[in-house]
Structure 1
Amino acid sequence: MFEKIFRLKQNNTSVKTELTAGLTTFMTMAYILAVNPSILGAAGMDQTAVLIATCLASFVGTACMAFMANLPFALSAGMGLNAFFAYTIVGIMGYPWQVALLAVFIEGIIFLVLSLTNIREAIFNAIPLSLKTAVSVGIGLFIAFIGLQNAGICVDNGSTLVSITDFTANFSTAGISALLALLGTLFTFILYLKKVKGSALLGIIGTWAAGMVCQLAGVYVPSPEAGYYSLFPSVQMTDFNAFFNTFGQCFNVDLNTIDWFSFIVIIFSFLFVDLFDTLGTLIGVSAKAKMLDKDGKLPAIKPALLSDSVATAVGAVFGTSTTTTFVESSAGVAEGGRTGLTALTTAVLFLVSIFFAPVFTAVPGFATAPALIVVGFLMFSAIADIKFSEKNYTDAVPAYICIISMPLFYSISEGISLGIISYTVINLICGKGKKIPPLVYVLSVLFVLKYILL
C-alpha cells in the first residue's frame, strides 16, 4: 500500500527509513508544542487551546504535504511569526488576538490564490541556482545557531551579542544542560560518521536519557522559575473543551474597530515573511536532499505550496498563528526521508501528541540541539557547490550575503531578500544584467519596498 501511494522504490527508500525519518523530524519539532502555547499565551490566548490547535494544524498541513506533494516536509506554527503575532500585533499595536488570527486567515487565502495561479512556483523557479544553494547553506548555519541557543551554549552576554555560556555558573541547570548538549552533539556526530541509521533520533533520545540520569543523581536540579523543568514526562490527558476557546474566533471580530491601513500592513507583513520562509525552506531542504532537477526546480513545488497555504488558513480557524513548512524537516531528510510517508509519520505523531502532549513537550531543548547542529553541518556542506572563483564573483558574493544574513538576522526570509537584492545590483552594475530573470528584478523592487514601507 505504501509503495503504491508514496512510490518508495522510485525514490530509493524503504518503509523503515521513512518511519524513522518521520519520527526524527517530529522529535526535532516537538519543542513547538511547548513554545507556541507559551508565546501565544502572552497574547491572552488559552494555552491548552493553542496546544490543541497547533497539533491539529500541524497534522492537517503535514498530511496535505504527504498526500498532495509526496514530499518529506512537515509543517507547524512558524517561529518568529508567532512572536510577531503576540508581541507586535497584540502587544505593541494593541489588536485583540482574534484580529491577528483573522489576518493570518486572510494571508492563508491569499497564499492559496497565489499558489493556484503559479505565482509562488514562478518565484521559486526564478531564483538563480547559486542562491538556491546558498539558501541551503544559510539554513544549515541558521538551524545550527538555533540548536546552540536551545541548548544554552550560545548566550547573549550583553556586550558582544553572542558568547559561549559560563558552564560553571548555575551548573545544576544551565551549565549541565549545555554540557549535555555538547556531549550529545559529539555522540550524534560519531553515530553519523559510523553510518548508524537513525543517528539524529538516537542522539536526541540518548541526550535526553543522559539528562534523566543526571536528574536522578542530583546533578541536574529542576528550577521551573528559571525555565528548567523536570526531564521526566508526566502522563496526563488534555482538556479538549479548551479548544473551543480559540476555534473559529478569527471570525468573531468587530470589523468597525479595525484600522484598515494598519491591518493591510499586518497581512502583508505575514505574507512576506511566510512566503520567503517557506520558499527558503523548500529550496534549502530540497537542494540538500537532491530533489531539485537539473534546472534547479522542485517538480512537486505546486502541491507543496498549496499544502502550506491550506495549513495556514486552517490553522487560523483552529486558533494558531501562521502554519508553515519547518526547516527542521531537514533532520528527517538527513535520516533518509524522501517521500510523503515521512511527512505522514510526523503528521500522525502530531495528532497523537494531542492526547499525550506532556510526554512530548518534556523533551528538553538541549536534547534536540545535537540533531539540529549535526543537520546544520550536513546542509552547510552544500557550500562546495558554490563556485568562488573570480569569474563567478557576481554569483558568489550574493550567495555569501544570503548565507551570513540568515543566522545573523535570525531569518530565512531576510537572507533571501538581501541575497536577491545584492544579486540584482551587483550583476546589473557589473554589466551582466542579461542573465537576471525578469521576475528577479520584480522581487528586488518588492524587497526594497518592504524595507521602506514595512
Structure 2
Amino acid sequence: MESFFGIKKAGSTVRKEIYGGIATFLTMAYIIFVNPSILINAIPEVASNPDLYQQYFGALMVATILGGATATLMMGLIANYPIALAPGMGLNAYFTYTVVLKMGIDWRIALGAVFVEGLIFVIITLTGVRTFIGNAIPKTIKIATGAGIGLFIAFLGLKSSGIVVSDPDTLITLGNITSAQALTTIIGLFVIAILYALKVPGSVLIGIIVSTIFAMMTGVTEFKGVVGKIPDISPTFLKLKLDWHSLLNTNFWIVVLTFFFVDFFDTTGTLMGLSHSAGLTDKDGNLPRAKKAYMADATGTVVGSLFGTSTVTTFIESGAGMAQGARTGLASVVTSILMLLMLFFSPLAASIPGAATAPALIFVGSLMLKGLTEIDWDDTTEGLPAFITLSMMPFTGSIATGITFGMIIYPVVKLFSGKRKEVHWFSWILAVLFVLYLIYLR
C-alpha cells in the first residue's frame, strides 16, 4: 500500500488517508439523496404515475453512486489524488430544468448528450486540446458561471421548500414560512450553517438528517426504514438514446456544448484550486498527472450516463479530506468504498423529502459564490460580463443563457474599451457562434 500510493513520500499516513476519505464522504454524501431528487423531475412517467416515484428514485440513486464511485476509484488508483467525484450540482439542475423541462428534450436523449460530452472529454484530454480551450475562456466568465449556478440551485431549494412561491404581480414572493415544509428547510439550513462554521465534518449530511427527522415528526414524510436491498437500476440503465435524428438536431449539440463547458471549467477550477491549497502542484503551479486526473472525470461522465445520471465532476468537498491530512489516492479509494456501501440504504433515501434536501441546495449554492471575490468589479469590462452571466442564470432559469450572454458581452466591451488585446481570439469565435444561436436557433 505504501509503495503503491507513496503515502510517506506525500507526507501523510495511512490513518490520515482513511480519516480523510471518511471526511470527504461525509461532506459530499448529500449528493446521493439530492441528485435523484432533482433528476427524477425530468422523467414524465413519474409525473403521470406517482406510484413509479420510488422505483425511479432508487434507480437514480444507484446511478449516482455507481457513477461517482467509479470516477473516484479511478482518481485514487490511477491519478493518485485524494479527490472525489460525483454527479455535479448545477449540471443536474441544467439537465432537468433547462434541457428536459424547458427545451422539451426527452430525458433519454439528454443522457445521450451527457454520453457524447463525456466522449469528447476523453478525446480532448488525450490530445491536450483541453489546455487550449481553457486559455480561450475569460477567467471572469469561468468564475461567474460557478456563482450563477450557485444562485440557480439555491433558488430551486427555496422554491421546492415553499419558502419562495410564484406571484402574479411580482413573479415570485415569500411563501408561508410557518408551514411544516418550510420549517423543515429552515431548521436544516440553520443546522448546516452552524455545524459548518464549527468545522464539523458532514455538516450538510447532518442537516439533511435533522430536517428529515423534523419532517417525519410533522407529517411531511414517513419513515420507510434504513437498510434494504439494492434498488433495481433497470429503469435508467442503458436508457440513453442516440439516433441520427438526435445527432442532426442543432439543439442536441447546444446541450452537449453547454454540458461540456460547465463540466470543463468546474472540474478544471476545482481540481487546480484544491491541489494548490493542499500543496500538490509543482513549483510552476502545474498539477502532475493532470491528464490522469482529468481522465477520471471524463470516464465517470461516460459511465454515469450509461447508468442514468447527469455529468460527473470533481467535488470541492474533497477539501474536507485534505483538511484531515489526506494527500494520496488512498483517501479516494476509501471514499469510493463508502459510496458503494450506500447501495444498501435505499429505504433511508426514500424517507428523505425534498424539503429536507432543500437546505443542502441553498447552502451549497452559497458556497459556490465564494469565487466572486476574485473578479475585479472596479473594471467594468470584467464586472459587467460577470454580472450578466451569473444573474441571467436564475432570472431566466437557464445556465446556457447566462453563459451565452456573458461570452457575447465580454469581447465587445473589451474591444470598445481599448482592451481588445486581453481577449483570446477563440473567444471571438465563441461569441459569434452564440450570437448566431440566439438569432437563428433559439
Partner of 1:226: none
1:72 aligns with 2:83: yes
Amino acid at match of 1:186: F
1:334-391 CA-to-partner distances (Å, cap 9, x unmatched) read 67567656654553344233332222343334334444444444443433332223xx
1:421 counterpart SS class: helix
Partner of 2:313: 325
Amino acid at match of 1:21: T
Alpha-carbon distance change, 34 to 398 in structure 1, aligned in 2, over 3 angstroms: closer
Amino acid at match of 1:357: S
Say whether the 8 Å CA contact 1:330–1:375 is kept in structure 2.
Answer: no
Partner of 1:166: 176
1:236 counterpart SS class: coil
Say whether the 8 Å CA contact 2:82–2:322 is kept in structure 1.
Answer: no
Match of 2:163 among 153, 161, 169: 153
Alpha-carbon distance change, 38 to 372 in structure 1, aligned in 2, over 3 angstroms: closer
Amino acid at match of 2:216: Q
Alpha-carbon distance change, 79 to 134 in structure 1, aligned in 2, over 3 angstroms: closer
Partner of 1:403: 390
The more displaced of 129-138 and 426-435 is 129-138
Match of 1:418 among 392, 405, 419: 405
Distance 1:405 1:180 in 2: 29
Amino acid at match of 2:83: P
Say whether the 8 Å CA contact 1:106–1:267 is kept in structure 2.
Answer: no
Partner of 1:196: 199
Q: Which TM-score applies when normalising by structure 2? A: 0.77
2:167 counterpart SS class: coil
1:57 counterpart SS class: helix
1:57-94 CA-to-partner distances (Å, cap 9, x unmatched) read 332233334444526342227333245665578xx56x
Distance 2:8 2:436 in 1: 44
1:441 aligns with 2:441: no
1:182 aligns with 2:180: no
1:272 aligns with 2:257: yes
1:81 aligns with 2:95: yes
Distance 1:379 1:9 in 2: 33
Distance 1:2 1:298 in 2: 21
Alpha-carbon distance change, 335 to 249 in structure 1, aligned in 2, over 3 angstroms: closer
Distance 2:148 2:3 in 1: 34
Distance 2:263 2:213 in 1: 36
Distance 2:84 2:402 in 1: 21
Distance 1:355 1:213 in 2: 24
Partner of 1:225: none
What is the CA-CA distance between 1:34 and the residue it aligns to? 4.2
Match of 2:229 among 233, 237, 247: 237
1:40 aligns with 2:50: no
Distance 1:132 1:401 in 2: 13
Say whether the 8 Å CA contact 1:153–1:178 is kept in structure 2.
Answer: yes
What is the CA-CA distance between 1:275 and the residue it aligns to? 0.8
Say whether the 8 Å CA contact 1:181–1:367 is kept in structure 2.
Answer: yes
Say whether the 8 Å CA contact 2:389–2:406 is kept in structure 1.
Answer: yes
Amino acid at match of 1:259: H
Distance 2:3 2:146 in 1: 29
Partner of 1:121: 131
Alpha-carbon distance change, 186 to 234 in structure 1, aligned in 2, over 3 angstroms: closer
Match of 2:298 among 309, 332, 345: 309
Distance 2:27 2:3 in 1: 21
Aligned length: 420
The more displaced of 266-275 and 373-382 is 373-382
Alpha-carbon distance change, 280 to 393 in structure 1, aligned in 2, over 3 angstroms: same
Distance 1:108 1:88 in 2: 23
Say whether the 8 Å CA contact 1:197–1:335 is kept in structure 2.
Answer: no
Q: Which residues of structure 2 form unaligned runs of 5+? A: none
Alpha-carbon distance change, 108 to 344 in structure 1, aligned in 2, over 3 angstroms: same
What is the CA-CA distance between 1:312 and the residue it aligns to? 3.1
Amino acid at match of 1:126: A
Say whether the 8 Å CA contact 2:22–2:321 is kept in structure 1.
Answer: no
Distance 1:288 1:330 in 2: 9
Match of 1:58 among 40, 65, 68: 68
Distance 1:306 1:280 in 2: 14
Alpha-carbon distance change, 239 to 204 in structure 1, aligned in 2, over 3 angstroms: closer
What is the CA-CA distance between 1:18 and the residue it aligns to? 3.9
Distance 1:289 1:67 in 2: 18
What is the CA-CA distance between 1:37 and the residue it aligns to? 4.6
What is the CA-CA distance between 1:425 and the residue it aligns to? 0.9
Say whether the 8 Å CA contact 1:144–1:372 is kept in structure 2.
Answer: yes
Amino acid at match of 2:199: V
Q: Which TM-score applies when normalising by structure 1? A: 0.75
Alpha-carbon distance change, 393 to 264 in structure 1, aligned in 2, over 3 angstroms: same
Amino acid at match of 1:324: V
Distance 2:36 2:149 in 1: 22
What is the CA-CA distance between 1:232 and the residue it aligns to? 5.3
RMSD between superposed Cα atoms in Å? 4.0
Alpha-carbon distance change, 36 to 142 in structure 1, aligned in 2, over 3 angstroms: closer
1:30 counterpart SS class: helix
Partner of 1:380: 369
The more displaced of 394-403 and 2-11 is 2-11
What is the CA-CA distance between 1:434 and the residue it aligns to? 1.0
Distance 2:11 2:31 in 1: 23
Distance 1:64 1:282 in 2: 15
2:369 counterpart SS class: helix
Q: Which residues of structure 1 form unaligned runs of 5+? A: 169-174, 223-228
Distance 2:109 2:259 in 1: 18
Say whether the 8 Å CA contact 2:185–2:211 is kept in structure 1.
Answer: no
What is the CA-CA distance between 1:424 and the residue it aligns to? 0.8
